[in-house]
Every structure is written in C-alpha cells, then in structure tokens.
Amino acid sequence: DVPVPGKVSTRFDLEKETELRFEVEAGEAAEQVELELLTGMGEVFGSELNRNKKYTFGPGSKIAVFTWQGCSVNLYGKPEVAYVSKDTPMLLYLNTHAALEQMRKQAERDNERGPRVMVVGPTDVGKSTVCRLLLSYAVRVGRRPTLVELDVGQSGVSVPGTVSALCIERPADVEEGFSVQAPLVYHFGSTTPGTNIKLYNKLTSCLAEVFSQRCEGNRKASVGGCIINTCGWVKGSGYQALVHCASAFEVDVVLVLDHERLYNELKRDLPHFVRVVLLPKSGGVVERSKECRRDTRDEKIREYFYGFRGLTFYPFSYEVRFADVRIYKIGAPSIPDSCLPLGMSQDDTQLKLVPVTPGRDLTYHVLSVSSAEDGEEGARKGIVESPVCGFIVVTNVDTQTQVMKVLSPAPRPLPRHTLLIMDIRFMDMK
C-alpha cells in the first residue's frame, strides 16, 4: 500500500495571552492551511474555536489565534509564515469591549441608547479586525450591535463601492466572517471617498438616519449600539468625512488606531463629551499592497455572483434592452463656479444624476440596481438616497441591436429598471 501523502502538521503550544500568527501564501495555486484546536481554548478575531474541528484558510489569509488561558493547536499545510507573539494589544481591546459593555448596561438601566463607536486610523492598522472583535464580543454577551461599513475600498459586507449596515446576531464565523443576511446597502460607485465626497457624506447621513429610526423601534438594537468601520483616508476631506460621520451618528466613542496626530485632531475638533481613545495597532496586522487590495475587491465581486467555500451560486446571463433600463452616474464633472447655472451650487452637481448613454465602454462595469420605484422624472429625486437591491455586471454591449448582456445573481427580469454605474469593473474569467 502506498501511503496517502498528508499535509505537514506543526504543533504550537501557546501560553496564556499569546497569539499564533500565520499567513497563507497568496495566489490561485497556493495550498490551503488548516487549523485545529487540540487542547485549551483559543479564538480567531473574537470567535471561539471548537475543539477537534479543522478550519480551512485559503490563499492570502492572515490569521491570529489568540488564547486567554493557554492552548495548543495544529497547523496542517505550509503557511508562508507562522510564529507566536507575546506582544499583542488584545488586553487593551478587551478592556475597550468591557467599557462599551458598561455603557450598554447603563443604557439599559437608564432607558438610553447604547454606545455608537467609530473606529478610525490609516490603512493597514487593523480597523476591520478591531470592529469584528468588538462586535463578536458584544454578541457573545447577548447584545445585538450593528456594523456600519463605510470603507468603500474594502467592504466587509457588500461589494466594493458601497456603504452598508448590518445587524449582527451571532459571532463571526471563524473562516467566513459575519453572516451577511439582509444588509442595507447604498451605491457609492468608486473605491475611494475622494471621487465624490459630497455623495459619501450624504450616504453616511442616510445610514445614520436609518440606524436611528431602527433604534427608535427596536430597544435591543438601540442598546447594542453600533461599530462604524471607516476608510484609511485620514487627511483633508477624508478627515472632514470622519468629523461629519461622528456628528451624523452622534458617536459617543472614537477609537483611533495607531495615529497620534489624528487622535489629537479629533480630540480638538469633536465635542468634549465624545470619548476619543488612542489604541495601538497589533504587530500582526499585515500591510497589503495595491495589487493585494485589488485582488480582494475582485474576489468580493466574484463571491457575490459565484458564492464561496461550500456555498456555490449559479449566476444568470441574459440580455437587457437599452430601452428597458435607465442608467445613471451620480455626480457631474465639476465646472467652474462662474459657469454654473443660476441658483446652482457645486454640491448640486456632485449629487446630480447624469444619464448614461449605453456604449461599448460600459462593458465590464458593475451596475447597482436601485430599489427606487421605476418612474419618470419625479422619481429621480430619491434615487441617490435609495438602497440598492442587487448588482449586475455588463459583459457585452451591442450598439447595433441596442442590447447589452449582463451577469446577474437572479434570472430575468431585472427587479427594477434604474441602474447606477460604478467606476469599478469586473472581468468574469469563469
């Protein structure tokens, strides 16, 4: 009998309050790495591991297994790196959770609302990870917090180019993150807020308003509060967008990761009752290159259409007549003030719906299907503030027959006929 070649297994014995960090090689051909908890207790970004269960991590994963009491784990396969670190800010993060939980308890007692927390910092400081940790800890003690995702470049909730909100009802899955069911998603259209800061601020306000309304009718959501993940752009208009977000959501706490100047600026510019806290970043957070970010964005769109891991979706491909849809871009190119029509300001141009005439250059663009009621001119007004009900990708345009072919998660017909174009493209290699 020829023995079946198994994966190399490496055992790690972790002392209490230490973490095992490992990275899986990137690239399609890379081998997955499996993780198994053998003894003790351990968690991955706030979600507890079950004993004797193998967790699989695909190419490019960057993972930390932290243990409060000590544990031993096995890694199967060949991670690109794997090392144990004693130096982690987890105790500070746990204390932050404990402080937020105190605020929730007090909110419950006094019939007030729970903490609204904004997590800020430059790119690659672990903002998304801290959000995930705080949300998972909160649900683990029975809370129902809301994740507000304002990172249009690397959204954890929907496809890139969107902002969204998601009610968290169970801890993140160790392998897959939070279960994304029924998120509230708005179309932004590009991967950086800078392309249309007015729209970005407007959508932040929309999310804040919807969240506040939900809190009025739902005590658990109100006490649970929210954790807001933001973009890594912390200068100029990016900074102003953070200040705007703090005021729109009336945040109580701002967690600044690893950026002293930003901390000081926010302390200076936000009202005194907002608690601004400076936290260190974890040494484990891995810097991601531009390419890596682009790949992650692509992967997110692919997942939307094709599913991931055990869940496979079968998207549909069909033709849509130009005459049956209305395609808009939000925001007209800015023009000098002196050329603006009387009574119009630059703000108006950034939020304006510009009709797009379908042409070849539409190919590969991601389009959001707006939930706004189909209708003529009158209905146009609400489109910017209407959530999105799904996404399609244009795979081919035939200007002769006035038809475009689209990739869609659902069979025809389109649920609505107002489409918003994104700067983002997706080439379907399947």
Binding residue numbers for ATP: 19, 62, 124-129
Contact present, 365 and 356 (Cβ < 8 Å): no
Q: In the bound complex, what is the minimum distance in angstroms from residue 247's beta carbon to ligand ATP?
A: 22
User: For ligand ATP, which residue of 191, 282, 350, 370 counts as binding (CB under 6 A)?
Assistant: 282
Q: Is residue 232 at the binding interface for ligand ATP, with CB under 6 A as the rule?
A: yes
Q: Which residues are annotated as a binding site?
A: 19, 62, 124-129
Q: In the bound complex, what is the minimum distance in angstroms from residue 182's beta carbon to ligand ATP?
A: 23
Question: Which region, judged by CB under 6 A, interacts with ligand ATP, from 60-68, 206-214, 397-405, 414-422?
Answer: 60-68
- Cis geometry, peptide bond prior to residue 145 (ω within 30 degrees of 0): no
Q: In the bound complex, what is the minimum distance in angstroms from residue 282's beta carbon to ligand ATP?
A: 4
**What 3-state DSSP class applies to 209?**
helix
Q: Using CA atoms, how far apart are residues 48 and 44, in angstroms rounded to an integer?
A: 6
Q: Which amino acid is residue 119, in one-letter code? A: V
Phi, psi of 352 (to 5 degrees): -75, 145
User: For ligand ATP, which residue of 79, 126, 225, 387 counts as binding (CB under 6 A)?
Assistant: 126
Nearer to ligand ATP, 239 or 364 (CB): 239
Q: Using CA atoms, how far apart are residues 107 and 113, in angstroms rounded to an integer?
A: 5
Nearer to ligand ATP, 133 or 397 (CB): 133
**What 3-state DSSP class applies to 164?**
strand
Q: In the bound complex, what is the minimum distance in angstroms from residue 65's beta carbon to ligand ATP?
A: 9
Q: In the bound complex, what is the minimum distance in angstroms from residue 195's beta carbon to ligand ATP?
A: 17
What residues from 305 to 364 belong to the interface with ligand ATP (CB under 6 A)? none
Q: Is residue 279 at the binding interface for ligand ATP, with CB under 6 A as the rule?
A: no
How many residues lie near ligand ATP (CB under 6 A)? 18
Q: Which amino acid is residue 55, in one-letter code? A: Y
User: For ligand ATP, which residue of 80, 124, 169, 269 counts as binding (CB under 6 A)?
Assistant: 124
Q: Using CA atoms, how far apart are residues 196 and 26, in angstroms rounded to an integer?
A: 32
Contact present, 254 and 120 (Cβ < 8 Å): yes
**What 3-state DSSP class applies to 406?**
strand
Q: In the bound complex, what is the minimum distance in angstroms from residue 18's beta carbon to ligand ATP?
A: 11
Contact present, 68 and 79 (Cβ < 8 Å): no
Nearer to ligand ATP, 128 or 386 (CB): 128
What residues from 367 to 426 belong to the interface with ligand ATP (CB under 6 A)? none
Question: Which region, judged by CB under 6 A, interacts with ligand ATP, from 62-70, 211-219, 269-277, 420-428?
Answer: 62-70
Q: Is residue 227 at the binding interface for ligand ATP, with CB under 6 A as the rule?
A: no
Q: In the bound complex, what is the minimum distance in angstroms from residue 88's beta carbon to ligand ATP?
A: 6
Rg for the chain, CA atoms, rounded: 23
Phi, psi of 329 (to 5 degrees): -115, 140
The candidate with the shortest Cα–Cα distance to 233, out of 259, 205, 212, is 259
Q: Is residue 123 at the binding interface for ligand ATP, with CB under 6 A as the rule?
A: yes
What percent of the residues of the chain are helix, what percent strand, and what percent coil, each to the nearest 5? 30, 30, 40
Q: Using CA atoms, how far apart are residues 307 and 343, in angstroms rounded to an integer?
A: 48
Nearer to ligand ATP, 193 or 331 (CB): 193
Residue 246: how many CB atoms within 10 A of its CB?
A: 25
Q: Is residue 136 at the binding interface for ligand ATP, with CB under 6 A as the rule?
A: no
- Name the site residues for ligand ATP (rule: CB under 6 A): 21, 62-64, 123-129, 151, 154, 232, 282, 284-286
